């Protein structure tokens, strides 16, 4: 059974009241069924410990226009970066998957980036543990370990001549928190941008500090799509996007809250090749937006081309 103990004990409902015992049990069952259905009933149940982690299983793959196929980066070798055509003058996109995901889920994103922008793309592969360890141990041990290894890579790139202002981390679900932790681990350097796609709520509850926080980067944009079930409803970052209100169900989704959560990733991927597809408008709430209470002049695009000079909450229909 999917272990959501940390999440359900501390979850706060939309109304601000804690869930009672019955609601906790039903929500646990609901999320477990949805996740199991989406992942073909193969949720990991192994309780990993720090002793189970082999750092060599956390891998980084570089993609560039000159070498569009995956090339694993050896963190200790500067000459290796030169061979792989890593360019310190270009923006580097760090793609960080969530728990249970395969790296294949990001093949199209990588291709789209290289088609649209002349950038370095680095895919973080921690699937050896994300698909093997249960959620509790992933939260307790794996996430911080992946973040520390990614921070080592970033420091390696900085030592090679990169400027951290040109680092853009894109993290979905658990990956959003890995992005935030990584940014903390490279201090006093500071990441240029973090894009948090439906940051997960499990284990990062209302009574503890979240792993990703507003000051982790010069610019943080957040896309909410399943709040407050899988994705958090906590407001953080500089530019907050609420497609279709930011909640489950998203358009085209029936019962699966996981599918609503994945919509944040889908929207962001679409935005890479379609820069004007998601115009968003500043408003105080979804209800105000639906009532037309927003200024047409306060518009920015949701996704890859979000304007870093904007601040606040932005709404749109997809």
Instruction: Quickly state the pLDDT bin for 40 (edges 50, 70, 90).
Output: very low
Half-sphere exposure at residue 193, Cβ-oriented, CA atoms within 13 angstroms: 20
Cα–Cα distance measured from residue 223 to residue 232, given in angstroms and rounded to the nearest whole number: 10
Residue 164 CB neighbours (<10 A)? 19
Give the per-residue pLDDT at 260. Answer: 95
**Which pLDDT does position 154 carry in this prediction?**
97
- Tens of pLDDT, residues 183-235: 999 999 999 999 999 998 866 554 455 578 889 999 999 999 999 888 998 89
This prediction has a pTM of: 0.86
Q: Which pLDDT belongs to residue 209?
A: 57
Question: Which has more pLDDT, 35 or 1?
Answer: 35
Among left, alpha and beta (phi > 0; psi -120 to 50; other), residue 3 is beta
Characterize 141-161 residue by residue with b for buried, 16 or more Cβ atoms within 10 angstroms of its Cβ, and e for exposed: bbbbbbbebbbbbbbbbeeee
Per-residue pLDDT tens for 42-74? 677 788 888 888 999 999 999 999 999 999 998
For residues 142 and 205, the model is more confident at 142
| Mean pLDDT confidence for 86-109 | 95
**Tell me, what's the pLDDT at 33?**
55
Domains of the chain with CATH codes: 47-316 (3.40.50.1820)
- Do the beta carbons of residue 94 and residue 170 sit within 8 Å? yes
Average pLDDT, the chain: 86
d(CA 193, CA 267): 18
């Amino acid at each position: 059974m999917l272990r959501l103990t940390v999440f359900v004990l501390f979850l706060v409902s939309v109304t601000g009241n804690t869930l009672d015992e019955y609601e906790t049990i039903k929500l646990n069952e609901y999320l477990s069924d949805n996740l199991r259905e989406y992942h073909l009933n193969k949720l990991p149940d192994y309780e990993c410990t720090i002793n189970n982690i082999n750092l060599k299983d956390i891998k980084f793959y570089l993609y560039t226009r000159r070498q569009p196929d995956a090339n694993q980066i050896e963190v200790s070798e500067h000459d290796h970066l030169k061979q792989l055509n890593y360019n310190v003058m270009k923006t580097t996109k760090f793609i960080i998957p969530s728990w249970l995901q395969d790296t294949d889920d990001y093949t199209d994103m990588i291709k789209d980036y290289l088609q649209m922008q002349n950038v370095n793309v680095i895919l973080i592969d921690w699937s050896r543990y994300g698909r093997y360890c249960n959620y509790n141990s992933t939260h307790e041990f794996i996430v911080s370990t992946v973040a520390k290894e990614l921070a080592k890579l970033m420091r390696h790139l900085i030592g090679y001549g990169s400027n951290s202002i040109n680092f853009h981390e894109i993290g979905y679900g658990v990956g959003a928190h890995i992005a935030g932790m990584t940014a903390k681990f490279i201090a006093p350097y500071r990441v240029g941008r973090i894009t948090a796609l439906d940051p997960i709520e499990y284990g990062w509850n209302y009574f503890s500090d979240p792993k990703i926080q507003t000051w982790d980067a010069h610019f943080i944009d957040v896309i909410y799509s399943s709040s407050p079930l899988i994705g958090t409803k906590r407001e953080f970052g500089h530019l907050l996007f609420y497609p279709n209100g930011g909640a489950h169900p998203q358009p085209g989704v029936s019962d699966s809250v996981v599918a609503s959560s994945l919509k944040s990733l889908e929207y962001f991927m679409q935005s890479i090749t379609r820069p004007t597809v998601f115009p968003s408008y500043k408003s105080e709430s979804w209800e105000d937006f639906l009532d037309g209470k927003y200024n047409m002049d306060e518009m920015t695009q949701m996704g890859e081309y979000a304007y870093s000079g904007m601040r606040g909450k932005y709404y749109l229909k997809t």
